Amino acid sequence: MDHSLPLTDAYQRLLGEVSRRLGADHAELLLRAAPGQPARTVASYGAPPEAADASWLELPIHEGAAEVGSLRMAFASGAPPPGASERGLALALVELAALLVEERQQIAWEPLRQAGRRILAVNEEELQRIILDIHDGPVQKLFLVSSRLALLQSRLADGPEELRRAVEPTLNQLTGLVQSAQQELRATLSTFRPAEFQRRTLEAVLQGLAFQHEVLTGNQVDLYIAAPIPPVSLPVKIALYRVLQEALSNGYRHAGVDGQEVYLSGQDGWVLLEVCDDGIGFTPPPLEGPGATEREEHIGLRGMRERVHLVGGQLKIVSELGQGTQIVVRVPSDA
C-alpha cells in the first residue's frame, strides 16, 4: 500500500495563502504519512527565522484521538501577534488539512481498525475460555485440597495430644493458605465473569459492572445515564466496559476515596463516558505522540488507550496531585 502523503500541492497553496494573510515570515505544515511514523514537512513557506526572539504559533492537527501533524508559523520579532480573526483563519487551515488527510488515513488505518475490532471480540471470548478453564481446573483442585484438609483436621481432633501439638499448627496454616487462594481466585473470576455483551444493552452492562464493583470493594459508584444512548456495536460495548472496569479499579486502589462518579451520555452518533473522583490525583503520563508511555507500571492506562483507539475513539485523562482525576472517553457508536 502506498502511504505517501497526497495533495502536497494543495497543502503548499493553502499554507502560502494563510501565511501571507497573517504576515508570517515562515510556516511549516507537518503530517504523518502513516500511523506510528514521525511527522514530516509536507509544505513550507519562507525561510526559517534567524532571530532567536522570533515568535512562533503552533497548532496541532488531530484526526480522532491521534495527532497527525501540526502547523507551525514564525513571526518577526516585534511584529504584532495574530488577532482573533487571524487565528481563526489559521485554525481553518488546520481543519482543512485534517479533512484532506482524512481520506488517506481511512485507507491506511481502516484495515487496522477493523482487525482491532475483531480482536476485541476474539480476546473477550478467549478471556472467558481461560476463566472457565481456571474454574474447572485449579479452583476444583483447591476445593478438593480444602476438603481433604478439613477431613484431616477432624481426624486429628480424636488423635493423641502430642500429635495434635506437632501437626495442628502446620495443618491450620495450610488450611488458611488454601482458603485465601480460593477467595482470591473467586474475586478474580467474579471481576472477569461474562458480561453477556451480545444480549444486554450498554447501559445494562455498565450498571451491572458498577454494582459488581460496589459489592467487591465496598466503594460507592454513582452512575448517571443521560438517555437516550444510541445502540452501539459489540466492540464498542466491550471497550467501554473494560475501560470503566480499569478506571474503577484504579480509583479504588490509588485515589484514596470511597466512591466515584460515572457519567454516560450520547450525542450525534458518539458515546461519552466520564469517570471522576475527588482523590489524591496524580501526574498522568503522556498517552499520545512519540513520547507516549510504554512503561510496565502504566499497563492499565495503556490498555485503556489501546481499547479506545481500536474503536476509533478518544481518551483524555485530567488529573493533578490533590485535585482528583477525570477520565473522559469518546467513541463512535457505530465503530
Radius of gyration over every alpha carbon of the chain, rounded to an integer in angstroms: 28
Tell me the pLDDT of the chain averaged across its residues.
77
Q: Which one-letter amino acid corresponds to residue 3? A: H
| pLDDT, tens only, 206-232 | 998 898 888 888 899 999 999 889 988
Decide: 41 and 72 in contact? Cβ < 8 Å.
no
Helix (H) or strand (E) holding 75: strand 66-75
pLDDT band (50, 70, 90) for residue 6: very low
CA distance 129 to 277: 34
SS3 139: helix
The pLDDT assigned to 192 comes to 57
Q: Which residue has the higher pLDDT, 265 or 24?
A: 265
| pLDDT, tens only, 284-301 | 888 776 667 777 778 788
Q: Respond yes or no on whether the N-terminal peptide bond of residue 332 is cis (omega within 30° of 0).
A: no
| pLDDT, tens only, 64-113 | 556 777 888 888 877 777 777 676 667 666 666 656 655 555 544 454 45
The pLDDT assigned to 311 comes to 83
Q: Which residue has the higher pLDDT, 5 or 226?
A: 226
Query: Which is it for the CA torsion 251, 255, 256, 262, positive or negative?
Result: negative
Strand order of the sheet with strand 270-277?
220-226, 259-267, 270-277, 325-332, 314-319
CB within 8 A of 290, min separation 6: which ones?
A: 38
| pLDDT, tens only, 129-174 | 565 566 556 767 777 787 778 888 888 777 788 887 888 888 888 8
pLDDT band (50, 70, 90) for residue 3: very low
> Can you tell me which residue has the cell 493423641?
160
